[in-house]
Structure 1
Amino acid sequence: MTVYLEEREQVVPERVSVPDRFVRLAEQRAAEGDVRRAQLASWAADVHVLEELLWQNGLAEADDPVAQLAAVGESVASALEQLAECATGEITAREVLEAARKAMVSTFDASVHDVLMEQLTALDHLDSCDPLVASRSDEPADGARLEGRSPERLVEELREAASDCLAVARVMNREGEEEAGERLVHQADVAAFEAYLVAAAVHAGDHQLATVDLRWSLAGDLDPASWEPTGGDNTFATLRRELISIVGSAEMEALWFALESAEGP
């Protein structure tokens, strides 16, 4: 992860929706011949679109939005399992995603099926994927990240790293090294962000941490040096907001709390 404060000025990033960012990632993976990750990134775009539509149409007012999303996720998973049982013969990478979309949409009332499908992004990038070519992502996604540790241990280490960065940052600020201190504060945010992603993935049943890799890739694409100066927040505050924007609306408050909690009392 190489995202950090490049210079102390007011900036704003290019505004690109999260689904579009996932599609860009899917296009990149497809061009590399990484079929599985191209499909996962495409599916992540679909899920994000669905979550935001639900959020805008009443989910935000639910007593427990996360539980409601979990219930929707279970329905989609059940529909996908039924689809897999009925599948016969070889299907292309694009057909897999199209079938998954139909399974997802089928969990809602028929009156909104067309509306939901219209909101989903194009899948043209999957046409170049050869399902018979072994993907470079066949190995579990969690191996390199965990390095033999349990997810829980990794989360603990990342939170400790965030706390340590902030402790040193306070010392740097007292000594007048404000720029160095701000860099450390952002490193703390990055560590707390990764800890949140891992913990959220495990909580959601993603024990291979595939969702962590996807979201981490989006965060890694943030490039403060390319942003144009403008009025508003400084670079550090803008970067924190951009990290939070990567997750869905239902998670933003939890991620903000995780970043704030790293700062301690």
Structure 2
Amino acid sequence: MRCKQFLTLSAATLILAAALTGCGASSSTASSAAASEAASSAASSVAATSEAASEAAATLPDGIYTADFETDSSMVHTNEACDGKGTLTVKDGQMTFHVSLASKKIVNLYLGSAADADANKADWLLPTTDTVTYSDGTTEEVYGYDIPLTAVDEDFALAILGTKGKWYDHTVSVRNAEPKAEEAAETPADGEYSVNVVLEGGSGRASVDSPAALTVADGRMTAGIVWSSPNYDYMIVDGEKYLPTNTEGNSTFEIPVAALGTPLSVVADTVAMSTPHEIEYTLTFTLN
């Protein structure tokens, strides 16, 4: 009887253990599934964040920018006259970066690896011939390239082909894009010119004659400014005071012009009111 009872108890014990084991396995499976789901959710979140960051890096408003061209080697770099920079153009959301290189020793570029370049000749980037001007005034013709970009501030693979016919792998990037400042027009040769004048500032009631006379002597520009009233008794330009050149008619001045195409800040004092008032304006001169 004892043996039979033992066997009966043992059998019951085995059944209970199996049931408990089954519960444990079920709980373990559920925990594993939950952990897997959490990991998948985290991965999706990271991927979404990465994609959003990538899209942000790729987005620039249409316009012209200057940007740094950074490379992993002295074999490929901007010409010294360019101070490490190139021109980034964004048009209809498409970005193209133009860089002038150090010489004509890099004859082609390929966006990708050197191993893939030969099989994709149609995608090689062809050089332009750029003229650079050094600080001592000398010039040189070098090769430049227009490189299409999908993003700024991100590294990308760029293979270069040298004059010996061998491709080399490099990692480069275009960074720190800033809107390009409009360059002031060059000073014209000595002589007499007619220029358009745009006046901004003040109350908007005053005006100046346009076109105006511009004199260039020894590389220095002087403009004749005729106001719309006789009530201006002096002007200040770059800290210097200028008096009218006439005693009758609308106030007329001869003032220096630092650059064409760039707003020139001036102050004009008017006596039209009960007390004199200095009023700030800008004048912009452009050749007819």
| Bucket of the pairwise TM-score, normalised by the shorter protein | under 0.3
| Higher Cα Rg, which structure | 2
Whichever structure has more strand as a proportion of its residues is: 2
Question: TM-score with structure 2 length normalisation?
Answer: 0.20
Whichever structure has more helix as a proportion of its residues is: 1
